[in-house]
Amino acid sequence: MTCASCAVSLESWLKNKPGIQEVSVNYPNESVSVTFAPDKISPEDIHKAATEIGYGLVLGSEESREQQREEAGEKRLAQLKLKLWIAAVCTLPVFVLAMFLMRVFAWENIAMLLLSTPVMFYSGSEFFVNAWKQARHGKTNMDTLVALSTGVAYIYSTLNTVAPSVVASRGVEPHVYFESAVVIITLILLGRYLEERAKRRASGAIRALMGMQPKEVRVIRNGEEVVIPIGEVIAGDLILVRPGEKIPVDGKVKSGESYVDESMISGEPLPVQKNKGDKLYAGTINQKGSLKLLAQKVGSDTVLAQIIQAVQRAQASKPPIQKLVDRISAVFVPTVIVLAIIASAIWFFTTPDEPFTRAVVILITVLIIACPCALGLATPTALMVGIGRGAELGILIKDATVLELAYKLDTVVLDKTGTLTEGRPQVTAFQLAEGISEQELKTAVLSLEKLSEHPIASAIVAHLESGGVGAESIDRFESITGQGVQGVLGESAYRIGKWSWLESTGVLKEESLLRKAALHQQMAQTVVYIARDKQLTGWIAVADKLRDTSREAVQNLQNLGLEVQLLTGDNHETAAAIAREVGIEKFTAGVLPSDKGAVVQKLKNHNKV
């Protein structure tokens, strides 16, 4: 399809076929959604009907359809680029000769004819081919306008170039309008090339989501490990997921322990600890440990597949304004042709001086002015690109209608982790007890934390290594889930973790250290305590730092008259500290991800948009 009215004509053509109940053709998304009675018409019959007016459907499995569409899109982009270059190279001298060097050279009309011909018959060929396919079935689209206007201009100019005496004998000056024909073809080709490139980028968001699934997986069948394509995985398969690999399907942990990055689903950038029985989702990334996954949902049933379908549905959905545009586009081309003929006739019968030339010029002018038809093009392309770009940035728009309602917004609800904050923990303070060797303690901390898989350990390791600290080998290392780590370095036993755990192992209080730590905890920072044998030797404060742009972003939203609220799973103190820092007055803390929707619904019930 080459324009919005292509979608309208294909839609109206298919609607009249027996067995088809409902049709929705989406131009920017290059898709058609059809509800049909399979006993009366098949997908192959629908494809055959589409080819009658110059289109065709890509059939087959979802994967092969996507591949064919991708290949066709890349091929079309390359063709448009070549046609555009040829048109531009030929059009420039024609434009210069017609606009600035008119009647300077005796050969200029011949030169313009020779340069215009490849533009018309190669670069602009699709306009004439598509217009003819439509005309055979009594239909029109934007190509009809382009073909009529440029065709009339080219034929009239060619006649005045090769046989100027034909019109001159009627007392009419044999003018040529080659530049009008080639400039409009070049400009429309430029528009289509830019639009095609935008569509390729927009559909790249879908491809990026699809790329989150691995192509092949390791499954354990009959006690043996075999590698199979993702499409062959069935519910009940036992899948081996190694460190750094993507989770291929939805399921639960059968055995093993690891941290999994679930940010693409939850928005929470900190990896989540997974043990036996915990849920896993396709597209999320396994961190350091190996897992055995029991497949429960595969193919189109996975959460990732449903996200992809949601984005595709949104891109195919039509808001009220688009439906209005479609209705106008359906009558736009015939109306323009009728108006062009009427205008041409009026000038022909009312102009005493060169009426024929004047009538032809008016006909060409009206048709050319209407050619680009931003009306049918701008709305669907803007929606397609907007929704696609949103998906790239992690913003899923469930329906095009919500974009049209966005101007009514009065409340914006923000998550904390990864939205207001950077989403990755960083060391903010390192406090030592008096008389403790800084180098010795930092070496012990780095040596222990390097063996831990906890996300906070990664932040501590990165901080110490950037400061030039080196690690040594640890004896009797042990990681206590939810508490901390312990091990022996040299003659000393070290523990790093929660104060409650350290205290339960007999570590003695150090009041001044604990008081300083409490100040950091009040600022929504996590404090990890360090003990050597039974002595509290220091602590490390770790925080998910506020983004540099958060305060400004909240201020900008508030300046627009929007009420900004914070919604987080973190505790009340952390939420209060972050809200205070960015200038948000209302916040809700301690909310589970599954309950966040209910909080938003509650706001809606209080007439918030």
Neighbours of 204 (CB within 10 A): 16
Picking from 185, 259, 41, 249, the residue whose alpha carbon sits closest to that of residue 239 is: 249
Helices 4-15 and 43-52, packing angle to 10 deg: 120
**Could you give the CA distance from residue 472 to residue 136 in angstroms, rounded to a whole number?**
82
- The two tokens of residue 418 are 């990864």
Kindly compute the dihedral angle of the four CA atoms of residues 88, 90, 92, 93, in this order, to the nearest 10 degrees.
Answer: 170
Active site residue 570: no
Neighbouring-strand partners of residue 374: none
Neighbours of 90 (CB within 10 A): 23
**Could you give the CA distance from residue 418 to residue 453 in angstroms, rounded to a whole number?**
21
Instruction: Let me know: does 267 contact 207? Beta carbons within 8 Å.
Output: no
**Could you give the CA distance from residue 279 to residue 251 in angstroms, rounded to a whole number?**
6
For the chain, how many residues are written?
A: 609
Query: In angstroms, how far is CA 435 from the centroid of its own chain?
Result: 56
Catalytic residue among 415, 475, 548, 570: 415
- The two tokens of residue 596 are 């966040």
β-strands 586-588, 563-567: how paired? parallel
**End-to-end alpha-carbon separation of the chain, Å?**
37
Kindly compute the dihedral angle of the four CA atoms of residues 588, 594, 597, 601, in this order, to the nearest 10 degrees.
Answer: -80
Query: In angstroms, how far is CA 228 from the centroid of its own chain?
Result: 29
**Could you give the CA distance from residue 108 to residue 94 in angstroms, rounded to a whole number?**
9
Instruction: Let me know: does 329 contact 273? Beta carbons within 8 Å.
Output: no
User: Catalytic site residues?
Assistant: 415
